[in-house]
Structures are given as structure tokens and as C-alpha cells.
A = this chain, B = another copy of it.
Amino acid sequence: MYKFAKVQFHSVLILLIALLFSCKPLAQERPVARNTSDTHPKLILTQKGVAAIQSQLGTLPLFDTSLAETKSEVDQEIRLRIEVPVPKDLSGGYTHERHKLNFLMMQKAGRLFQITADKIYANYVKDMLMAYAKLYPTLPVHPQERSYARGKLFWQCLNDANWLVYTSQAYDCIYDWLSKAERDHLEKNLFRPFADYISIENPQFFNRVHNHSTWGNVAVGMIALVMDDAKLLERALHGIKDDKLPEDLKDNDGGLIKKKGQKVGFYGNLDEPFSPDGYYTEGPYYQRYAMYPFLIFAQALQNTKPELKIFEYKDGVLLKAVDALLNLSDADGDFFPINDAQKGMSYFSRELITCVDIAYHYGGEHPELLSIAEKQGRVVLDDTGLSVAAALKDGKVKPFVKRSIELRDGQHGAEGAVGILRSDAMELVFKYAAQGLSHGHYDKLSISVYHEGQEVLQDYGLARYVNIEQKGGGNYLKENTTWAKQTIAHNTLVQNETSHFKGDYDTGSQHHPTRYLFHTDNKDLQVASAIEENAYPGTKMQRTVALIKAQIFENPLVLDMVKVSSANPNSYDLPFYYMGQFLKANFKYEALNTLAPLGTSNGYQHLFKEAVGASDGAMTSFNWMLQDHFYTLTSVTTKGDELLLARIGAHDPEFNMRRDPVFIIRKKDKKEALFVSILETHGAYSPVSELAVDAHSQIKNLEILYDDASYTAIQITDINDQQWMFLMASNTADNEIVHQLLIKGSSVTWKGPFVFNAIK
């Protein structure tokens, strides 16, 4: 794992200055004064940076490719007529997508103007801005009424803020090229009213701790820096002083808008949602989304207000956040879909290209980041992208090796965590984090498992088709609330068919699980364990997961133990959302020919019951295949445990949900229960050779040898009768304490909270 140095700007600046001397000045049509702090561009591109870029054009392959791609993209748009339509549509609709494309194109054209000095790009930005300056003053609030904070160009202020973050950069690039009269016109009719609308006219959007507000703050801050408006910058950094918002106000996703005494503005959004480990409480999907404004504004502040030392703020949290985000991706670079998250979003996104380039340039030039940039195959057209391209050309790249990592949640790192165990091709994500603001799910202690970047036990993600207009305007669907956020939609324990915290956001936001232990030093035995005592009042749940490498097993085993105890008898469901084709189970089940919903509420109404089985008291084995591999989940069950096969899709009037399957172990009428399972990844199949290798589990038996409030002992027997014992102390996680336990008449002694031993 690389470490971020706290201050690294000086050497970069010296390099850039050195480069400056070696480059030829480029003629511009309207030459402007240079080398004073008042000249533009100054936010992202800088005059010095532009000179450095120009001097190296044609010498850095990745930069040149990125430039050529951008040029080709913008040139194609310029050939079409500029279109600034009257806003009308939701996301996915024409006017939405057009305005989105416009700001992306303006930002790129601005950079192309600076780098190539071709005034066609400046004119393109100017003409488009003038069209917006003509349209904007005529606009009422957007006609679509879905949002708690409706925008003017878009249906929500959030997208208006996106527009301003990008457009500010374009304006900065042509600022000096415009006449004062043109600038005054744009600022009076477009930028100032635009900034005011998304801030003082929409405090419920702007004065909040949320990714929406981050975009709002940064939008206002970026345009403030271009216009050099200290008052506006103050609003961006610290929020509106008196927003007069009621304290119980919620947004249209049910998220609380205001907490008493909460710090807001850019600093507020930087303080609270980021943990000291750089984990953003909403999860990686939104962290990715929020990172762009955080980092682009940080870059702008660093260039214009270096005295703020923004990259050092909170112990360098912005740079740590990039590292955290990269570690929150699977082997293919796709982010783990924790909380509301659309699957497939990855570190190939434009936001992450910016993040990686900025983190490299301002974060100590860690060569591991270059390997990500190399995979991305594109750099940002500014000083940071130049650094990356130059370093890659110089062969400085080192592989970015993702290892097991615990990313603590909460402003002070004390609100649980996301723990990721990695071993060979296996990745296990264990979520014992806080609620995660309004995009959080009710899934305390949930897990998901990956093999070679493929989901084996999936997290459903969100119920939304982002920007696909025919699915609810591309916005959140009601099934996101009724299904995706509910506990049963996750690989975690459900009590009495109700969701954690009864699915109540306010309650959920007051609590978080407690980390019990997280040990990854021994690569052959990595263990994480956490406790949740508030999801169901009166019930204590402890989940312990391990990645274990042991003898005959081809791939690391996933050991999963869920221990629950309650004052009252309950029904407990533990679902496993396996991916792939179910092959065979060792228990009897009846497949149903008429399918009815599994329940009536809390997400259960969305599952069709497909088959019902029951344990006869023996170990339960469930085997499936996914692509070219086999998987077996072996679980300890007791006689009478229900074994259910179900599928998502009931009460789905518009076919919004994926028809994915689930295997559920149900223990009824128990005060205490212990779920123990082992997931094996084994063998291979090829439809070309039609050879099936090791299609069967290697486990002959799995049993619980001992279980009380303090200790649990389980025993694994493989098909060659080799045996192992896993012992766990739940009374203390102290590494120095020695435990002794009498198991089946033999005394076993070990030190520390757990041990895994082969039995002679």
C-alpha cells in the first residue's frame, strides 16, 4: 500500500516553472497580460501549466491520445449547431441530456482553446454561454415536479450545480479572451443569478451535508474563484449563515436535510461524511460522484488560494479518499455496490480519471496510481494529466495491488467500517458501517463475495436505471425503497421478516455496528467480526467472516458465522443471493408450480417463493455454477430449519427488478441461533471442451462442536477426512488473552480471539 506524502506541491511547481522556460509562446488573437495572479485561466488549467503542456505536445503518448480524442469529440459537436433548448425533460430525456452534453463540451472546448490556441473553441464556448445568458433569465422553475429542490435547466438543482462546476472551468479558460462587456453580461445575466438560485434560493439543497450540497457548494465556489468574488466564495466554503430551514425537513428520498448545529458548506461536507480513512459514508458509488467536485475544487483552491492548504486538510483526507475509493473496487475496477449504487460504475469513469490524476500530481506521485491511469487509458488535459502522462512515458509505473483493508466510517472513524478481505482471486466485502445518509440501506453486517471480479454472492445495488428515461425518467424507482433498501434484499440476517431499525431512517442514522476485530496479517487466515445490537432492539447479532487458505481447497474458503441472541423467540432468515445456475442441493425440496410472494411487506412482497425444503438435521449443501466455475455453500442446519428458494420480481408492476435468485435459511421460534456456512469456489467448466473439473464440494462435514455466549467452535471435515477446527472467543478480542475450552472431553488452549487448526 502506498502512502500519501502531505506536501509535494513545491517540486511539481519547480518542474513546471522549469518547463515554462523551455517552451515557445503561442500567438493568441487577443493577447492578454500574463504572469499576474489576476490573469486566467487560474483554476484548473494555469498559465504556467498551459505553457508546460504546449512545450511537451507530441512527446507524451497518453496525453497526446487524450488530446486527440477530446479534439475529435468536440470538433464533431462544433460541426452541429449549438442547441440550448427550453428545459422540459427528466433525466434520459432530450433537454436533460442536451444540457448535460453542453456543459461537458464547453469544459473540454475551454481546455482545447488554451492548449491549441485555436479560437474556434473559444467562440464555441462564448456562443453557447451567450445562448444560456439569453435563456436563463426567462426560465421559471423546471416544469418537472419530482425533486425537493427543482433546478432551472434541469429537474433538480443537483444537475444545475453539475452544469456550473463544469461551465465555470470553461468560462475560466476564455475569461481573458472575452471583453469586459461580454464578461459583465454573462455574469449579470447568467452566473450570478445561477449561483444565487442554487444557494440562497434553495437552502434545502445547498445548506446540507450530502453529495448534492457538495456539488452546490463547489459550483458556487468555482464561479466565485473565476469571478474573484470573496463573498460568494465564503458562501461556498461555509454555507449560508441563516438558512431558516426547519429541522425536520426531508428530501424526496426520505433523507433528513438538517441536523441541529451541523457545519455546512464545502468544509462541512468535507468534515462529516469522510472518515479519517477517506471512506465517504454514502458508499463508493456516491463517493465517486462526490469526489469530482471535491477534488476539482481542491485543485482550484490549491491554484488560487494555496494558503488554505486544502490537500492537507483533515490529515490529507481528500487524497486518502482516492486511495479508499480504488480499494472499494473489485478485480475489474467496478465499485462494490454498497448502498444505493448502480452496478458497473468503475474507476474507468471520467470522475476517477480526474481523481487519479489529481491524486498523483498533488499526492506525492505514487507510482501505483500510474497503473490505474494506464488502465484508464486517458488523462485529464491539465497539469495533473501532464504529470501522469510524463511519468508513464518514463516507465515509472508500479502495480496497484489491492489488499485486505478496513475503511472506518464516521467523521472520527468511530462509526463502524467497511471491511474488505482479499485472498487470491476472492474478495469479501463486509459492511458494518453507519447508515450512510439518505442513500443508505438497512443492511447491517451484510456481506458480498467476489471471485475473479465476478459477483458470487451479490449486493442488489439500487433499483434505478440511471438516465434511462423509459424507467421512471431515469430516476430512483419506488422499488428502491420497497425493495433495494430493505434488509431482505441483502445477504444479512432478518428477524421476523422486518427490516433493521424497522426501515426507519432517523433511527438507523443514530446507530452503527461495532467492530469486534479485523485481522489480516496472516494471509492464510483473515478474520473480521462485528456486532450489531440496535437493528432489532433486544437482539444482539455478531457476524464473523473469514477467508481461509487450507490444503486441498483450490481457492480460499469463505467462513461465515452469524450468531444471534434475543430475549424473545423469533424467526430468523439468512439469505444468500447467489449468482448463477443452481445445480444441486443435498436436501429435499419441492419446487412450486404456482408462485406466490414470500411475504407481504419489508421487501418480502417482492420475492416469489419458488421452492420449499426442510433440513433433516444434517449439514446442508447448495451447489451452483456461474460462468466457468462451481460454488458450494455448506451450512450447518438443524432439523426443521426451512430452506427456501425464491426469486425477485413479485409486486413489480413495471418490471423494474432483476429476476435474480436467492437461497434462504430460516430458523423459526428461536431465542438464540448460530448460522455457520462455508462457501467454496471450485473447479472449472468450459462449454468448448465440455470438461467439468472438480464440480463437487470437497467438504464432507461441517458441524458446531461448541457454542455459548463466550465461545464458538466449529469443525470442518474434508472428503479425505482431514479435519480442521475454528475456535472463536466472543467475550474479548484481546490478542494477548489465553483461552481454554473443553470440547468433547478434550481441553483446547489458544491465545487471542480466534484460532484455526488442523486436527491431527
Q: Which residues of B contact A590 (CB under 8 A)?
A: 653
Q: Which residues of B contact A350 (CB under 8 A)?
A: 689
Q: Which residues of B contact A100 (CB under 8 A)?
A: 691
B692 in contact with A581 (CB, 8 Å): no
Q: Say yes or no: is A465 at the interface (Cβ < 8 Å to chain B).
A: yes
Q: Which residues of B contact A571 (CB under 8 A)?
A: none
A342 in contact with B687 (CB, 8 Å): yes
Shortest CB-to-CB span from A80 to chain B, Å, is 14
A691 interface neighbour in B97, B594, B610, B692, Cβ under 8 Å = B97
Q: Say yes or no: is A651 at the interface (Cβ < 8 Å to chain B).
A: yes
Q: Say yes or no: is A671 at the interface (Cβ < 8 Å to chain B).
A: no
- A186 and B345 CA atoms in complex are apart in Å by 62
Q: Which residues of B contact A653 (CB under 8 A)?
A: 590-591
Q: Which residues of B contact A705 (CB under 8 A)?
A: none
Interface residues of A in 581-630 (CB under 8 A from B): 581-584, 590-591, 593-597, 608, 610-611, 623, 625
Q: Which residues of B contact A77 (CB under 8 A)?
A: none
Q: Say yes or no: is A469 at the interface (Cβ < 8 Å to chain B).
A: yes
A659 in contact with B647 (CB, 8 Å): yes
Q: Say yes or no: is A344 at the interface (Cβ < 8 Å to chain B).
A: yes
- A608 and B566 CA atoms in complex are apart in Å by 40
Q: Could you mark each residue 327-367 of chain A with 1 if its beta carbon is under 8 Å from any beta carbon of chain B, else 0?
A: 00000000000000011111011100000000000000000
Q: Say yes or no: is A688 at the interface (Cβ < 8 Å to chain B).
A: yes
A654 in contact with B688 (CB, 8 Å): no
Shortest CB-to-CB span from A474 to chain B, Å, is 7
A474 in contact with B581 (CB, 8 Å): no
Contacts A583-B468, A655-B582, A658-B581 given; does A650 touch B691 at CB 8 Å: no
A688 in contact with B584 (CB, 8 Å): no
Q: Say yes or no: is A92 at the interface (Cβ < 8 Å to chain B).
A: yes
Contacts A349-B689, A594-B595, A687-B344 given; does A623 touch B470 at CB 8 Å: yes
- A98 and B4 CA atoms in complex are apart in Å by 54
- A465 and B582 CA atoms in complex are apart in Å by 12
Q: Say yes or no: is A19 at the interface (Cβ < 8 Å to chain B).
A: no
A467 in contact with B595 (CB, 8 Å): no
A583 in contact with B465 (CB, 8 Å): yes
Q: Say yes or no: is A437 at the interface (Cβ < 8 Å to chain B).
A: no
A345 in contact with B465 (CB, 8 Å): no
Which of A470, A645, A661 is packed against the most chain B CB atoms within 10 Å? Answer: A470
B690 in contact with A469 (CB, 8 Å): no
Q: Say yes or no: is A148 at the interface (Cβ < 8 Å to chain B).
A: no
Q: Which residues of B contact A583 (CB under 8 A)?
A: 465, 468, 470-471, 655
Q: Say yes or no: is A466 at the interface (Cβ < 8 Å to chain B).
A: yes
Q: Which residues of B contact A595 (CB under 8 A)?
A: 594-595, 608
Q: Say yes or no: is A652 at the interface (Cβ < 8 Å to chain B).
A: yes
A692 in contact with B659 (CB, 8 Å): no
Shortest CB-to-CB span from A50 to chain B, Å, is 27
Shortest CB-to-CB span from A19 to chain B, Å, is 32
Contacts A597-B593, A655-B591 given; does A688 touch B470 at CB 8 Å: no
Q: Say yes or no: is A714 at the interface (Cβ < 8 Å to chain B).
A: no
B696 in contact with A470 (CB, 8 Å): yes
Which of A597, A661, A688 is packed against the most chain B CB atoms within 10 Å? Answer: A688
In this complex, what residue of B is CB-closest to A474? B692
A467 in contact with B582 (CB, 8 Å): no
A645 in contact with B651 (CB, 8 Å): no
Q: Say yes or no: is A695 at the interface (Cβ < 8 Å to chain B).
A: yes
- A610 and B652 CA atoms in complex are apart in Å by 10
Q: Which residues of B contact A688 (CB under 8 A)?
A: 344-346, 348-349
Q: List 28 A-B contacts (CB under 8 A).
A: A92-B692, A342-B687, A344-B686, A345-B687, A345-B690, A346-B688, A348-B688, A350-B689, A466-B690, A467-B691, A467-B692, A468-B583, A468-B625, A469-B692, A470-B695, A471-B584, A474-B692, A583-B655, A590-B653, A591-B654, A593-B597, A593-B650, A594-B594, A594-B597, A610-B649, A611-B655, A647-B659, A659-B659
Known: A346-B687, A590-B653, A591-B655. 12 other contacts (CB 8 A): A97-B691, A342-B687, A344-B687, A345-B688, A345-B690, A468-B625, A474-B692, A581-B658, A591-B652, A593-B596, A594-B596, A645-B655
Chain A interface (Cβ < 8 Å from any Cβ of B): 92, 97, 100, 342-346, 348-350, 465-471, 474, 581-584, 590-591, 593-597, 608, 610-611, 623, 625, 645, 647, 649-655, 658-659, 661, 685-692, 695-696
